Homo-oligomer: A and B are copies of this chain.
Amino acid sequence: MPGPQKNLAASVNGSRLWDRHMAMAEVGGTPRGGVHRLPFSAEDTASRRLLLSWAEARGFSAQMDDFANIFVRRAGLDEAAPPVMSGSHLDTQPLGGKFDGVFGVLAAFEALEALEDACVQTKRSVEAVVWSAEEADAGFGIGCLGSQVYADPTKLLPLSQIVDNKGTTVREALERMLRDHPKLPRRDFRAPISSYVEAHIEQGPALESGGHTIGIVTAIHGQRWFEVELFGEAGHAGNFPEKLRRDALLAAVQIIAELRALFYDPSDIVRFTIGRLEVDPNALAVIPGYVSFTIDFRHPDEEVLSELGDKVAVVAAKNRGPCEVKVSEIRRSRTTPFAGIVPKAILAATTNLRLPYCHIASGAGHDARYIAELCPTGMIFIPCWRGISHNELENASPNDVAAGARVLAETLLVLANCEF
């Protein structure tokens, strides 16, 4: 029997939440304090078992779909109404950290527990979700597999056929994991969701450097990825005069310098990164005959993405010097804006709790990008130490973790009771 209703934010238990992060971090924990829990691995399965053991202890039910996405449910008064959902992922990058994804799952689970502890009845059910294989990009070249398939089951077949560098398909890796997985009642792909909130560490330095505890996410940036290749001619560094050289590295440097000037944005919204650059033969006394480099360009405005992005090939052609150049667009994704009731509820919860906050766009992709195709969606960011993520050094403060969970719990409560 539920007792008298208590304050929800006060029922969010910061030390319990922190302890669960530390317990989860032992599953695939590395000697340097990081976590190596690859999608579909035994550690991935073990982390889900741990969460389900906590759910069972609290009397929460759970379901799973055919892509092993898990839904832990605290039932509402109207069991038939689509649930309010919150979560993220438990898998990590190779040698990743303790908070990326995990915070979103555990903060959602803490919200369920806090609702329980505060003896709060909600109209809709509230669910904590674990999306499968969010970090699959390291092995399979594409991430957010679980949320993508949930939102659009027609992607199941093509995504299942992707192969990692050991020749294993997504289908094989998924089936191997499902064999070891706890059996749970079945949930259909695209089962209706009332609204979705994802909490996550920022994975950038803006909140920390600005002194904000909460980031209310306005959008996930659209992005365009390019590969630029320069075909020159290798030659002896001592004997080739400048005028007979076709130096692929100098051409690449010229193109990068021009692109940098073109993408310079005084308002600092453009994200422009040359992350990978390869030189061949890459020998001290040999003129580079071939260079390839990548461009990662992100922006919240589709028009800017189109206009600026389309200039990459133009700048490359104009500055190729005596080399041949080839520009390939290797990925493009649209901007996902977050607006409406979910960000409004996050803002209300944040101001009620009197936490310092800012509005922020996410340059990184998240499962929320795909769930936003199904229902009103928003995201809550908390700071992470020096912006470092996808790294064993990834860290967050217990205070910010608790604050983020409080905002999430209050947000979910509002969304679970509102009419729409």
Say yes or no: is A153 at the interface (Cβ < 8 Å to chain B). no
Which residues of A in the span 170-192 have a Cβ within 8 Å of any Cβ on B?
Answer: none
* Contact of A202 with B275 at beta-carbon distance under 8 Å, contacts A253-B260, A390-B286 already known: no
* Interface of A toward B, CB cutoff 8 Å: 202-206, 209, 221, 223, 225, 234-244, 247, 249-250, 253-254, 256-257, 260, 264-265, 268, 270-279, 282-288, 294, 296, 298, 362-365, 387-391
Can you list 19 residue pairs at the A/B interface with Cβ under 8 Å? A203-B236, A205-B239, A236-B390, A237-B271, A237-B273, A238-B271, A238-B365, A239-B271, A239-B363, A241-B268, A242-B265, A243-B268, A244-B387, A249-B274, A250-B274, A275-B279, A275-B288, A277-B288, A286-B390
A202 to B275, CA, bound (A): 38
**CB-CB < 8 A to A235: which residues of B?**
204-205, 387-388
**CB-CB < 8 A to A202: which residues of B?**
239
A292 to chain B, nearest CB (A): 11
A363 to B241, CA, bound (A): 9
Instruction: List the 9 shortest-distance A-B pairs measured between CB atoms, nearest first.
Output: A238-B363, A204-B239, A237-B273, A238-B364, A237-B296, A239-B363, A284-B294, A241-B268, A275-B284
**CB-CB < 8 A to A204: which residues of B?**
235-236, 238-241
- Whether B236 pairs with A363 at a CB distance below 8 angstroms is yes
Residue with the greatest number of chain B CB neighbours at <10 A, chosen from A235, A254, A257, A264:
A235
A298 to B287, CA, bound (A): 13
**CB-CB < 8 A to A249: which residues of B?**
256, 274, 277
Q: Give the number of copies in the complex.
A: 2
A274 to B232, CA, bound (A): 14
- Whether B362 pairs with A238 at a CB distance below 8 angstroms is yes
Minimum CB distance partner of A294 in chain B? B284
A293 to B239, CA, bound (A): 20
A344 to chain B, nearest CB (A): 24
A216 to chain B, nearest CB (A): 15
A211 to chain B, nearest CB (A): 14
**CB-CB < 8 A to A388: which residues of B?**
235
Known pairs A237-B363, A241-B268, A242-B272; list 18 more (Cβ under 8 Å). Answer: A204-B241, A205-B240, A206-B244, A209-B244, A236-B364, A236-B387, A238-B271, A238-B298, A238-B364, A240-B387, A241-B271, A243-B268, A249-B256, A253-B260, A254-B257, A275-B285, A275-B288, A276-B279
**CB-CB < 8 A to A270: which residues of B?**
242
- Whether B283 pairs with A275 at a CB distance below 8 angstroms is yes
